[in-house]
Amino acid sequence: MRRKQDTLTAWLFLAPALIIFLVLIVYPIGLSGYASFTKWKYTAGLKGMKWYGFQNYINIFKDINFSSAIENTFLYVLITVPISILLSLIFAYLLNNKVFLPKTLRLFYFIPYIANAVAIATLFQSWFRTDGLINNILSIFSNDTVGLKWMTDKNLCKIPVMVMLVWTSLGYLIIIYMGALQNVSSDLYEAAEIDGASKTKQFIHITFPMVSQTTFYLIIVRMIAVFKVFVSVNVMSMKNPARYNTSIMVEVYNTAFSKMQFGKACAEAWILVLIVLFFTAVQFVGQKKWVHY
């Protein structure tokens, strides 16, 4: 084909993508990296940056809000990711040929995934209020639960966030798992059936290992998504000024746009980037090691 003209055409075709990429992505990434080492009086614009060394990074780890944000975010990841993965695998397993009308039924599970997260967060806030639906339902079973403060208690307020994280993630995970499960050969199940393996044993010894590659991928995808959690926490903590349930992104947002400490906010954001990059790297390396084929 016509080589020389190709080069020109190629760069012309790439130009729109490259311009946005360089101006609105690469430049801001670089600037925020630099800014994280400065004390930044933002009203003075770019000139307001003063070299601050590692002081921002030292300060954020002394900051109680940010330490609890890190702690909470890791807690959210540790608790919600396994639950999401396990539930979605079970549901996908049942939805795949174990039920009538699988395609219609899976639509139900999909709705929370596409519904506006702000809407869902405000809804959960209403449900978890002291006089909300959750406490009303719990009061049927036990009198001890009357007046549980789901939204304001130091520890309890993390539960609505986690419920929302799991509830909204399942639709996506189920769709991916259903695809993966369809690729598991039915011969394996038939052989197991002949050997007299129970359905539970088949699930543990055939289904689970056969989709391990997908599981590994989804674990990483979910971990990264949960590390970046913002909407649910930000909306729910609006009515709880103590922000006991705060997350890394919520702190970045508040440091930047409530306290107007831009250098510090960039440092906090870079901690998030390092965490995400670490787990992306784990994915690249680990995929080969821990996955059965």
Q: Are 183 and 53 in contact (CB under 8 A)?
A: no
Kindly state whether residue 210 participates in binding another protein, applying the rule CB under 8 A: no
Kindly state whether residue 146 participates in binding another protein, applying the rule CB under 8 A: no
- List the Cα angle 211/217/220 in 5-degree steps: 140
CA 272, CA 229: separation in Å to the nearest integer? 11
Q: Which C-beta is closer to another protein: that of 15 or that of 78? A: 15
Please select the residue that binds another protein; options are 159, 170, 211, 233, rule is CB under 8 A.
170
Kindly state whether residue 200 participates in binding another protein, applying the rule CB under 8 A: no
Q: Which C-beta is closer to another protein: that of 75 or that of 176? A: 176
- List the Cα angle 233/33/72 in 5-degree steps: 25
Question: Of residues 49-88, which lie at the interface with another protein (CB under 8 A)?
Answer: none
Please select the residue that binds another protein; options are 79, 123, 192, 206, rule is CB under 8 A.
123
Angle between helices 55-62 and 64-95 (to 10 degrees): 70
Kindly state whether residue 44 participates in binding another protein, applying the rule CB under 8 A: no
CB of 124 to another protein, least distance (A): 8
For 171, residues 6+ apart whose C-beta sits below 8 A from its C-beta are: 109, 110, 111, 112, 113, 114
Kindly state whether residue 194 participates in binding another protein, applying the rule CB under 8 A: no
For the record, the structure tokens of 5 come out as 């003209």
Q: Are 223 and 279 in contact (CB under 8 A)?
A: yes
Kindly state whether residue 167 participates in binding another protein, applying the rule CB under 8 A: yes
In whole angstroms, how large is the CA radius of gyration of the chain? 24
Q: Which C-beta is closer to another protein: that of 157 or that of 272? A: 272
Question: Of residues 251-290, which lie at the interface with another protein (CB under 8 A)?
Answer: 252-253, 256-257, 262, 265-266, 269-270, 272-273, 276-277, 280
CA–CA distances in Å: residue 171 to residues 84, 108, 111, 246? 10, 8, 7, 25
Kindly state whether residue 209 participates in binding another protein, applying the rule CB under 8 A: no
CB of 266 to another protein, least distance (A): 6
Total residues contacting another protein by CB under 8 A comes to 90
CB of 60 to another protein, least distance (A): 14
